Structures are given as structure tokens and as C-alpha cells.
Amino acid sequence: MKILMVCLGNICRSPLAEGIMLRKIKAHQLAWEVDSAGTSGWHEGALPDRRSIAVAKAHGIDITDQRSRQFKHIDLDNFDLVLAMDSSNYSNIMRLANTDKQKAKIHLILNFLYPNENRAVPDPYYEGGFEKVYQMLDESCEKVVQSYI
Ligand code: 4NP
């Protein structure tokens, strides 16, 4: 299973999701891969936001090897699951998908926890709430793992 986590900037939410999922992959000894990307290229090459680095570190996860990159069309072929943080990320990715196979890979990550509710992982960039975001991502990543192992 190859999973791509997607948010807007690829500096706050999706780097945390990548770090959390990587730890679960290792814990379960799964031959899975995970990466993350942003629908915008605004922070291309940047480290995760220092607040995401801090909350990950508080939970024993180092995400400082990650660098922001923009989502690209080929990601829809290279990955099996493309997990969006909110409805805006979701529709921006969905707009790029041209086949049913590509479209079927794209999901809101919280729909694994709350099926069909279309809930969003709130953007913490301006409002904060990184610990809450961490908890939402930890629970939803666990559901993703349990759904496919
Ligand atoms: P992310 O958060 O999508 O979770 O990485 C954001 C990061 C940067 C901006 C917005 C959201 N920004 O406006 O630069």
C-alpha cells in the first residue's frame, strides 16, 4: 500500500499524518510506504512548521527529515490511497483526476473514522490546535491501518 497524505501547504497537517503513519507502518511491520504533499507550492522545500515538529516530537516522532512539495498529477498513479485533510484539498485533487481509478483513490482521511460525514482536519496554521490535530490524525491513521491489514 502506498499512501499519500495531502493538505494545503504540506507543512502542518500532512507532515504530521506522514510521521504518524510511518510509525504505525513500522510498528505493524508493514511493507507500506507513505509520503505527503500540498495542493499549493507555497512552501516548496520547506521544513514542517515548527509547531508540527514540536507536537510530533512530544509524541516521540521526528519529522525533521521531511520537506514540503507540491502535489503532482502523477501522484494519482504512483499512490494507492490519496488522503485529503479537508474538503478544499479533496476537491482540488479530485479536479485533477481523470479516470475512475484515480478518483477512487481519493478520500477525506476523517471518513475512515466517521464514514460519510465528510469532516475536516482543521487547518491549524493560523488558529493553532496542533495537539488536537495530532489526536485526530493518530485515530484516523489507526483506522486506515486496520482497514487494510
Ligand atoms: P497545512 O497548513 O495545509 O496543514 O500545511 C497551512 C500551511 C500554510 C498555509 C496555510 C495552511 N499558508 O497559508 O501559507
For the chain, give every domain's residue range.
Answer: 2-148
In short, whether 67's Cβ falls inside 6 Å of ligand 1 is no
Average pLDDT of the residues in 100-121: 98
Predicted TM-score (pTM) of this structure: 0.98
**Angle at which helices 130-148 and 13-27 cross, to 10°:** 40
Cα–Cα distance, 43 to 8 (Å, whole number): 10
State the pLDDT confidence band at 121, using cuts at 50, 70 and 90: very high
What length is written for the chain? 149
pLDDT attached to residue 88: 98
In short, whether 89's Cβ falls inside 6 Å of ligand 1 is no
pLDDT attached to residue 23: 98
Region 2-148: CATH code: 3.40.50.2300
**CA 13 to ligand 1: nearest atom:** 4
Q: Is 80 a catalytic residue?
A: no
Catalytic residue among 35, 49, 86, 123: 123
Average pLDDT of the residues in 44-54: 98
In short, whether 109's Cβ falls inside 6 Å of ligand 1 is no
Chain position carrying cell 508493514: 30
Written as nine digits, the cell of 17 is: 499524518
Phi then psi dihedrals of residue 40, to 5 deg: -95, 160
Q: Is 7 a catalytic residue?
A: yes
Rounded alpha-carbon distances, angstroms, from residue 9 to 60, 61, 143:
23, 20, 24
